[in-house]
Amino acid sequence: MKAFRPLIILFKLAHESMQFAYQSIVANKLRTFLSLFGITIGIFAIISVFTMVDSLEKNVRDSLQALGKNVVYVQKWPWGGNQEYPWWKYFNRPEPTISDLDEIRRKSLLTESACFNVAFNKQVKWESNNIPETTIYGVSKDFDKIRSFEIENGRFFNLFEITSSRPIAVIGSEIAKELFQGANPIGKMIKIGGQKVSVIGVFAKEGKSAIGENSLDNMVLIPLNLARTMVDLRRSGPWIMVKAKENTNVADLKDELRGILRAHHKLKPLDDDDFALNQIDMLKSSLDSIFGSINFAGGFIAFFSIIVGGFGIANIMFVSVKERTSQIGVQKALGAKRYFILIQFLYEAVLLAVIGGAIGLILIFIGTQIVTHGLDFKVSLTISNVLRGLFISATIGVVSGFFPAWVASRLSPVEAINTKS
């Protein structure tokens, strides 16, 4: 029992200090409100920044992931351009061709799947409903092995359909919603630029893409050979997606593709590549730098928010000490130790800060729900940010409340009792 005595004393001290802090907070509602307001605004500013940055980063990375893991994009234009982008070097390059795709499939030993893609805009119409300038994707076989997606209704193309020019399509969830307005799209005939096409499937809703272009919600997919009848493939910015075999280094795949395409294009050893081999990792490295800068800016904002909130708590606590000087004198006259007075005021400061921080977090949560449902952009308040907010609040309480609490604990009992509040 003696071994637990220090813990029992500590618990009683904490309990009594918490009671004093609670009574002080309840008895001084205006002061409490001002303290809560300052810390609430501070935590709201800090955690809002971190929440938006984390959500934006997650949405961007999820969007990039949907483009395909371990995938190389054979295109005319290289990605990047953080510095000056020498577009004139790439302007006269040829567009990727079906012949390039066939050569890759025939000679590449590191390729698991390869797909030819083309995108263009056409009006899509069903009965009296129409959507102008809809993005139409023409894809070859293996698209479903490279690009991740889910089918909500109907099905995707089979091998025969994807290699033929049958007039069929799989449409995005937003296209289905706007065109059919609740009717079942499967089996219905839509017009793409005046050409009749049968709907065989609807993609599951993906939400808005953070990188702007890869969400299937507002797209219509058709077989590549059907796309040939609607548009000139060479003038529509085609590209080839090449997925590496499992456990294959993407850098090795790029080296192999470079050799295959240079030979196929009959380039001399000293000639520059007339194609670009792009990779998601190129964007990821840029993202790391961008979000690192954003997080630094967020931390800078957080620093000033902490200072503002801390000064607010400190000022209120000095007022509290002055108002309760005679009460402190009575407590010390009755035998209260310095550490009891110190902990009593520290508890009050921390309690105020944590309550204010919790209110700020509740406001942020409400805001995330409004943004998510109102703008169709997923924003979530993570557990890590909740804990971060509470930790920052408690830290502000301890730091800003320590000096007023220390001043209170050092008061002379006789002088304190005789002091008029």
0.85 exceeded by pTM = no
HEC profile for the chain? CHHHHHHHHHHHHHHHHHHHHHHHHHHCHHHHHHHHHHHHHHHHHHHHHHHHHHHHHHHHHHHHHHCCCCEEEEECCCCCCCCCCCHHHHCCCCCCCHHHHHHHHHHCCCEEEEEEEEEEEEEEEECCEEEEEEEEEEECCCHHHHCCCCEEEECCCCHHHHHCCCCEEEECHHHHHHHHCCCCCCCCEEEECCEEEEEEEEECCCCCCCCCCCCCCCEEEEEHHHHHCCCCHHHCCCEEEEEECCCCCHHHHHHHHHHHHHHHCCCCCCCCCCCEEEEHHHHHHHHHHHHHHHHHHHHHHHHHHHHHHHHHHHHHHHHHHHHCHHHHHHHHHCCCCHHHHHHHHHHHHHHHHHHHHHHHHHHHHHHHHHHHHHHCCCCCCCHHHHHHHHHHHHHHHHHHHHHHHHHHHCCCHHHHHCCCC
How does pLDDT run across 170-209, given as a tens digit for each residue? 999 999 999 998 889 999 999 998 899 999 999 998 876 5
**Residue 155 or 326, more confident:** 155
| Dihedral class, residue 154 (left if φ above 0, else alpha if ψ from -120 to 50, else beta) | left
What per-residue confidence (pLDDT) applies to 82? 55
* Look-up of token digits 């931390």: 299
**Residue 338 or 231, more confident:** 231
How does pLDDT run across 244-287, given as a tens digit for each residue? 998 888 889 999 999 999 999 999 988 999 999 988 765 665 66
How does pLDDT run across 388-417, given as a tens digit for each residue? 888 888 888 888 778 877 877 777 666 666
Domains of the chain, by residue range, sit at 11-63+286-417, 94-274
How does pLDDT run across 16-55, given as a tens digit for each residue? 555 655 565 565 666 666 666 777 877 887 788 778 777 7
